[in-house]
Chains A and B, each alone.
Chain A
Amino acid sequence: MSDFATTPLFAMHEAMGAKMVPFAGYSMPVQYPMGVLKEHLHTRTSAGLFDVSHMGQVRLSGPSWEAVALAFEALVPCDVLGLAEGRQRYGFFTNGAGGIEDDLMFARRGDDLFLVVNAARKADDLARMQTALPDEITVTELKDRALIALQGPVAGNVVATLDPRAGQMRFMDVADLDLSGHAVWASRSGYTGEDGFEISVPAEEAEALARRLIGDADVAPIGLGARDSLRLEAGLCLYGHDIDETTSPLAAGLGWAIQKTRRPGGVRAGGFPGAEAVFAEIEQGPERVRVGLQPEERAPMREGVSLFDAEAASAPIGTVTSGGFGPSVQGPISMGYVAAPLAGSGTALWGEVRGKRLAVRVVDLPFVPARFKR
Chain B
Amino acid sequence: MKFTEEHEWLRVDGDEIVVGITTHAAEQLGDVVFIELPDEGVTVSKDDEVVVIESVKAASDILAPLDGEITEVNTALTDNPAAVNDDPQGEAWFFKMTASDPSQMEDYMDEATYQKFIA
Q: Are B30 and A325 in contact (CB under 8 A)?
A: no
The range of chain A's interface size is 10 to 19
- Interface bits A322-362 vs B (CB < 8 Å: 1, else 0): 00110100001000000000000000000000100000000
Contact of A299 among B30, B54, B57 (CB under 8 A): B54
Residues in A neighbouring B30, C-beta threshold 8 A: 31, 35-36, 225
- Interface bits B70-114 vs A (CB < 8 Å: 1, else 0): 000000001000100100000000000000000000000000000
Q: How many A-B residue pairs have CB under 8 A?
A: 38
Residues in A neighbouring B57, C-beta threshold 8 A: 30, 36, 225
CA distance A35 to B31 in the complex (A): 7
Residues in B neighbouring A225, C-beta threshold 8 A: 30, 56-57
Tell me which residues from 38 to 89 in chain B have a Cβ below 8 Å from any Cβ of chain A.
52, 54, 56-57, 59, 78, 82, 85
Q: Are A325 and B59 in contact (CB under 8 A)?
A: no
CA distance A332 to B56 in the complex (A): 10
Q: Are A37 and B36 in contact (CB under 8 A)?
A: no
**Interface residues, chain B, CB within 8 Å of chain A?**
30-31, 33-34, 36, 52, 54, 56-57, 59, 78, 82, 85
Q: Are A298 and B34 in contact (CB under 8 A)?
A: yes
Chain A binding surface SS class: mixed
CA distance A30 to B30 in the complex (A): 11
Within the complex, the shortest CB–CB distance from B71 to chain A, in Å, comes to 24
- Interface bits A147-175 vs B (CB < 8 Å: 1, else 0): 00000000000000000000000000000
- 6 more A-B contacts (CB under 8 A) besides A37-B31, A225-B57, A332-B34? A35-B30, A36-B30, A36-B31, A37-B82, A300-B34, A300-B59
